[in-house]
Amino acid sequence: MSSRKSVCVAGAGSIGCFVGGMLRAGGHPVSMLARQRIIEDVQANGLKVTSFEGVEHRFTSAEIKFSEDPSIFADADIILVTVKSGDTAEVADLIAKHSSPNAIIVSLQNGVGNVPVLRDKLAGRSVLAGMVPFNVLTLDPGHFHRATSGDILIDKNAADTATQLNQPELKFRAVDNMAGIQWGKLLINLNNALNALSGLPLRDQLSQRPWRALFADQMSEALAAIKAEGVAPVSSTPLPPGLTPYILKLPDFAFQIIARPMVQIDPKARSSMWEDLQRGRRTEIDHLQGLIVALGQRHGLKTPLSEKIIALIRNAEQAGKGSPGLTPYQIRG
């Protein structure tokens, strides 16, 4: 195991626990900075990582170190940042204080604003942008299940960090244009809020044309704002971003023919924002639809769908009752 890079996950929620568990299965020494709830779950049940492809690995609480103490950063060669966007500055300060200056920092977060924050706080350090295309569900305490397909993409660098982390059951790929890819992922992540408001599994939601049409209109609104900003989003699928809204609006049978080869979705898959509502946690709506509204205001563009979705998510957060189970027609108002 000593030949493998030591990895610490900064913010071990669903994504962090799954990725960390898979890296431990691949032979990396792994530690996790986690909240007490996660630590207690793993101490009581161990860590179990599974995927829709049939992968399954189990670890005892002694095999992976979980801690609330940021001093666990000290021995890490690679630190994977998986905290919510609102916690990025705080975790960056902890990394700066407790980690080796030679540690490579990789952001595996949603949104497009986290890497600039990390680079500002960790000036002179190697900070890489990354993108996780798949969803991870918490099925039981200590059990994290990958429910959709895709490879993790990260910036190319001289140390070839992607190759160091890559393994047969969890692919990492190095790419040149991570900024464009992150904007492309943001467009896809706009459905996180729609899925959270629907209360439906992702596959059920996306199988219904009215939901896809709502997603398409939300994406078109976002594309106009992103174009005004001078950004060229890059899709992580074979479909160009500008074509995706048209594909989403196709009849169900035609959409399924086109979409099925590009992404696989477990019947249980739901968005992370849905899980946030169910668990009474704050969502990342400000870093998704909120960013589109901010861009619209900057460039004099109207963003009524984004604004309506933000308001509905805020209402659901305040109600504290999980997903409101809305229809696409109720969201449109």
Judged by DSSP in three states, 31 sits in strand
- Could you tell me the residue range of the domain that residue 138 belongs to? 7-176
- What SS3 class is residue 235? coil
Cα–Cα distance measured from residue 136 to residue 205, given in angstroms and rounded to the nearest whole number: 17
Q: pLDDT tens, 23-65?
A: 999 999 999 999 999 999 999 999 999 999 999 999 998 899 9
DSSP secondary structure, 253-303, as one string: HHHHHHHTTT--B-TT---HHHHHHHTT---SGGGTHHHHHHHHHHTT---
- What pLDDT was estimated at residue 79? 98
Residue 259: its pLDDT value, please? 80
Sheet containing 152-155, strands listed edge to edge, beginning at the edge strand earlier in sequence: 65-67, 30-33, 7-10, 78-81, 104-107, 127-131, 152-155, 172-175
Q: Are residues 122 and 45 in the same domain?
A: yes
Q: Tell me if 1 is assigned to some domain.
A: no
What is the chain's Cα-based Rg? 19
In this structure, is the dihedral angle defined by the CA atoms of residues 284, 289, 290 and 295, taken in order, positive or negative?
positive
Kindly tell me the burial class for residue 320, based on how many C-beta atoms sit within 10 Å of its own C-beta (0-12, 13-18, 19 or more).
Answer: exposed
Cα first-last separation, the chain: 56
Question: Domain of 219: which CATH number?
Answer: 1.10.1040.10
Whether residue 165 contacts residue 172, with contact meaning beta carbons closer than 8 Å, is answered with yes
Considering only the C-alpha atoms of the chain, give the largest distance between any 2 of them, rounded to a whole number of Å: 58
Domain co-membership, 197 together with 76 = no
Same domain, 144 and 202: no
Alpha helices in 46-166 (DSSP H): 88-98, 114-121, 161-165
Element (H, E) at 44: helix 36-45
CA angle 326, 191, 139 (to 5 degrees): 80
Query: Is-contact 118 128, C-beta < 8 A?
Result: no
Pair (49, 129) in one structural domain: yes
Q: Which amino acid is at 329?
A: Y
**Domain identity same for 246 and 223:** yes
**Domain total of the chain:** 2
- Of the three residues 176, 209, 225, the one that is the final residue of a domain is 176
Q: Are residues 21 and 162 in the same domain?
A: yes
Do 118 and 69 have their domain in common?
Answer: yes
CB contact at 8 A, 102 and 130: no
Q: Which of 155, 176, 197 is the last residue of a domain?
A: 176
Q: Is residue 224 part of a domain?
A: yes
In a domain, 2, yes or no: no
Contact 132, 117 (CB under 8 A): no
CA distances to 190, 228, 229, 294, 297 from 301, rounded to whole Å, are 18, 9, 11, 10, 6
- Residue ranges for the chain with pLDDT beneath 70: 1-2
* Residues 54 and 78 placed together within one structural domain of the fold: yes
- Measured CA to CA, the distance from residue 94 to residue 79 in angstroms comes to 12
Cα angle for residues 153, 159, 163 (degrees, 5° grid) = 45
Shared domain check, 118 and 20: yes
Q: For residues 274 and 323, is the Cβ–Cβ distance under 8 A?
A: yes
Based on the fold, state whether residues 151 and 207 are members of the same structural domain: no
Residues 296, 204 share a domain? yes
Query: What digits encode the pLDDT tens for the residues 188-225?
Result: 999 999 999 999 999 999 999 999 999 999 999 999 99
Q: What share of the chain is helix, strand, coil (3-state, %, to 5)?
A: 45, 15, 35
CATH number of the CATH domain containing 21: 3.40.50.720
pLDDT at residue 2, as a whole number: 47
> Are both 146 and 237 inside the same structural domain?
no
